[in-house]
Structure 1
């Protein structure tokens, strides 16, 4: 029971913790494993002290930083860090005031690396999460290795424009979109004119071809009619004359039509019953 609260002669470490055994303020044992490998014996009560360090992964939500990137643009970068104590002995020696002091040092180190990495990127590369950002954890671990800290991951979770430049940037983006829309409309208008001109040309060609075909068909019809009329006239001229007269009567004599001609006019030859009987 005393070992569980680090008060007995036996010190037992847990899987999610580190332990340092101090004798008169000086470290004499570093326990990083659990079970039998993480035991220390004998601890001298009231002389040996035990300090406990968290072995779990720590989350650091770094303060947003304004950084100048390639192209003289300025952005506010918000990032976070996942880190872990790798060596409790080196961690205690580097940060005697504990986690608070360590997080400040980690934020300064990682913030400097983020600024150096982001400063070489363009806006497009940054928004695409360039591969250069994937090595931030390794570079941070190299710089913090002597402090007993291992950086597991560094991620940028938010990028935004500073307030003074936000309006100007948005106006620039709107003007770019307006320029693109003007170009698209101009291309559309040009293509519309080309389509209309092509359609009108095709329509004229179709009308001309249709007129030509109709003239050919009309000529063929007139020729066929003339042939039929000639053939009919050759077989019975009187009957042909009678049909032509009937057609003339039909066209000339409508309802309430008045004609002033002599009774013996040739036009009424087939209407004169006396002459028809004589014929």
Structure 2
């Protein structure tokens, strides 16, 4: 009886092992190939759920259907201006043709090795043909430059272009297009390329700092020049308005002074008409007050009109 139980248990164990070896599941983010004696059997299995294969004869090779990430190593690359920078990039790709992928690179490690070779060469080629500002700036970065006065910093005084012909996005697009031409034979499809980090060696860092300082000084000088121009314009308008106010005030003062002189003349005329002798006497006394002082010596002839009132007083 015990031998029958043992045999039944062994049979059940063999059946479980067989079922375990034959059954497999495919997830939502997976695709799988059945391999028999080293050869791919059929097409990729992409339907999620439970599937079967021949036990002990066939094996399973799983591949990811999601976007995969390739991280490049940090490399020292010279730019077009011979500035050496430390740069690394990252790439997102997916397995577009799983059969070709397995036949050419076998697994993700082989794919990363191929991408290493391709991307490192393409990145070095594109970066070495680009200016430093095109690598670190966006293509839409702009500073609105205005014409400057004579003697002020001009556009050619700066060492770095304010608006590069292309920026980092354009450079990344060129790298992606160049790399895409080499990967279809591996069943890989590149989705995007990003320059993840750019560092400078010490000598380049000093050059970059000098360029940034010169650029900012140029921009600041533009703003100062515009401010000085606006200030001169405001001061000119103010002086013009002030001169107009002064001219109007002088004109009104002259009008008032002329009217007052006319009134004085009329008063003098009426006074003279009423008593010419008394008017002459008052004017003579005013002349005495203005001309005769404590240390004043006057010399007149005996029959002078100016002296006649004094002479008349002395005679009395």
TM-score by length of structure 2 reads 0.59
* Residue pair 1:13, 1:31 contacting (<8 A) in 2 also: no
Which of 87, 95, 103 is 1:85 aligned to? 95
* Residue pair 2:19, 2:55 contacting (<8 A) in 1 also: no
Q: Does 1:56 align with 2:95?
A: no
Q: Does 1:18 align with 2:31?
A: yes
* Residue pair 2:44, 2:99 contacting (<8 A) in 1 also: no
Ranges in structure 1 where 5+ consecutive residues have no aligned partner: 253-265, 268-279
Shift of 1:154: 0.9
Q: Distance in 2 between matches of 1:190 and 1:168?
A: 33
* Residue pair 1:136, 1:153 contacting (<8 A) in 2 also: no
Q: Deviations over 1:159-207 (max 9, x none)?
A: 3322332023313432454466567767877887898789778867875
Secondary structure of 1:71 counterpart: coil
- Cα gap change, 1:124 to 1:11, in 2 (>3 Å): same
Which residue matches 2:56?
46
Q: Distance in 1 between matches of 2:262 and 2:219?
A: 64
- Cα gap change, 1:82 to 1:180, in 2 (>3 Å): closer
- Cα gap change, 1:183 to 1:26, in 2 (>3 Å): closer
* Residue pair 1:138, 1:151 contacting (<8 A) in 2 also: no
Q: Distance in 1 between matches of 2:24 and 2:230?
A: 85
TM-score by length of structure 1 reads 0.66
Shift of 1:112: 2.0
The CA RMSD over aligned residues, in Å, is: 4.7
Q: Distance in 2 between matches of 1:131 and 1:179?
A: 26
Q: Distance in 2 between matches of 1:35 and 1:200?
A: 85
Which residue matches 2:198?
159
Which residue matches 1:277?
none
* Residue pair 1:79, 1:154 contacting (<8 A) in 2 also: yes
- Cα gap change, 1:104 to 1:199, in 2 (>3 Å): same
Q: Distance in 2 between matches of 1:151 and 1:118?
A: 19
Greater RCO (CA < 8 Å, at least 6 residues apart): 2
Which of 74, 82, 86 is 1:72 aligned to? 82
Shift of 1:111: 2.4
Which residue matches 2:114?
105
Q: Does 1:174 align with 2:250?
A: no
* Residue pair 1:17, 1:52 contacting (<8 A) in 2 also: yes
Which residue matches 2:145?
none
Q: Distance in 2 between matches of 1:27 and 1:12?
A: 18
Ranges in structure 2 where 5+ consecutive residues have no aligned partner: 1-14, 140-167, 291-308, 311-316
Which residue matches 1:229?
268
Alignment of 1:246-265 (within 5 A): none
Q: Distance in 2 between matches of 1:120 and 1:74?
A: 12
Shift of 1:225: 0.7
Shift of 1:208: 6.9
* Residue pair 1:16, 1:56 contacting (<8 A) in 2 also: yes
